Structures are given as structure tokens and as C-alpha cells.
Chains A and B, each alone.
Chain A
Amino acid sequence: DIQMTQSPSYVSASVGDTVTITCQASEDISSWLAWYQQKPGKVPKLLIYIASNLQTGVPSRFSGSGSGTAFSLTIRNLQPEDFATYYCQQGISFPFTFGPGTKVEIK
């Protein structure tokens, strides 16, 4: 299985800040990476697919980059509704696997 790791596991930030979360794959996954946002008690929501493509309806302050084994999700001008847990997921090979999550909390 391809292992996905994320760092940091936790970040404390303020409204208006820029936050960058990184995701590392244990082997080359090309650009087959997605990012999700999950709020407590809610369903994961797709933000980014194929590493850098913004899902319809997702604010442009979210952006994704990377290829191969190293990826990042950047949130610019952090808004109150952005405080959540973020997961990466590889879609190049079975079984699809997710990272352990990065929790973005209010400072």
C-alpha cells in the first residue's frame, strides 16, 4: 500500500493567516492526489483533485501543488469557516489511501 503522511499534524493560526500543509507519499503518485476538508461531525468535502485542480464551488484562497511524492495545500487569508481537519488522498493505485489529517485550529 502507498503510505501517506502529513505535516504538521496540528497547526494553530489566526484569521487572515496563510497556512501550508504538506503531504508526502511513500512512492511516486504523479499528480493523483486530492485534498479534503472535514469539520467535526461532518462529511469530508473535496477541495482539490489531481494535485492542483480546484473543485467547483471551493474558494480560490485554497490552492494545491506538487507532484511525485511531495504535495502541499495552501490556504490564504484564513477564514473562520476554514478551521477544520484536512486530509490528503492518493488515487493512483489500490487501495486508495488517506493521510492521517492536519487539524487547523484558531490561535
Chain B
Amino acid sequence: QVQLQESGPGLVKPSQTLSLTCTVSGGSISDNKYYWNWIRQSAGKGLEWIGRMYASGTTNYNPSLKSRVAISIDTSKNQFSLNVNSVTAADTAVYYCARVPSAYDAFDIWGQGTMVTVSS
């Protein structure tokens, strides 16, 4: 079955860029029935949707983060990535990648999550 796996550094310095990759296995990221999302969870803000991307390249972002966030996709590697620039301690969270079927806007498959701490 389809599985998602996040990877990337667990510690990022303030003002630098947080970069994470989600590898999709057991299915194709190019499947137009799905789109690919990033979500984060922190004690202070709960679950927060960051943004999503279709394999076609269409993106949607949370306005609260839009100026600092970019999601990209690499269909040849079956991966999609998240960059958050100018990070602060408020960006410390568990970051999840997740799949959404285009037929309904709910997150049906999640990666295991990766903890990212912003600290000098």
C-alpha cells in the first residue's frame, strides 16, 4: 500500500531555511486522483495545514505562511519537498506529509512525522 516518509534535518538555526522531503512508495505521485500536503503540529498551535501540491505543479498555501513557504515536486523520484525560510522558534513542530484524495478533502495517508527544532 502507499506509504509516505519524511526526511530532513531535525535541527535548524533561526533565520535559516527548513527543508524536508517526503518520499512516496507503493504508488505514483503523478496520480491525478491525489494531491500532496504538508501539515505541522506543535503544542502551541495544534495541527496546522501548511500547503499542498498537485503533480501538475499547482500549489495552494496557508496565507499565514505563504510568504515563507514553497512546496515542490519531483516526479522522477516520487518525492515532494517543503522549504520554509526565515524560521523562528515558532516553527518548531512535528512536520507531516500527507495525501489527500481529490474526491474529498481529508488526509487519508500520513507519513510518520519528523520533529524539527529551531534553535541556535
Interface residues of A (CB under 8 A from B): 1, 32, 34, 36, 43-46, 49-50, 53, 55, 87, 89, 91-92, 94-98, 100-101
**Central interface residue in A32, A96, A97, A101, by most chain B CB within 10 Å:** A96
Cβ-neighbour of A96 out of B96, B105, B110, B113 (below 8 A):
B105
Interchain CA distance A101-B46 in the complex, whole Å: 8
Please report the C-alpha to C-alpha distance between residue A39 and residue B12 in the assembled complex, in whole angstroms: 27
Chain B residue with minimal CB distance to A47?
B106
Total number of B residues with any Cβ neighbor in A under 8 Å: 20
B105 touches A32 (CB 8 A): yes
A contacts with B: majority SS: loop
Q: Is A46 in contact with B47, judged by CB distance below 8 angstroms? A: no
Bound-complex Cα distance A91 to B112 (A) = 22
Q: Is the CB of B47 within 8 A of A92?
A: no
Residues of A near B61 (CB, < 8 A) are 94-95
Q: Is the CB of B104 within 8 A of A49?
A: yes
- What's the Cα separation between A3 and B112 when bound, in Å? 26
Contact of A92 among B48, B49, B105, B107 (CB under 8 A): B105
3 closest A-B pairs by CB: A91-B105, A34-B106, A95-B62
* With contact pairs A34-B107, A100-B46 given, residues A95 and B63 touching in the complex (Cβ less than 8 Å): yes
25 contacts between A and B (CB under 8 A): A32-B105, A34-B104, A36-B107, A43-B110, A43-B113, A45-B110, A46-B106, A46-B107, A49-B104, A50-B106, A55-B108, A91-B105, A92-B105, A94-B60, A94-B61, A94-B62, A95-B61, A95-B62, A95-B63, A95-B64, A96-B49, A97-B49, A98-B46, A98-B47, A100-B46
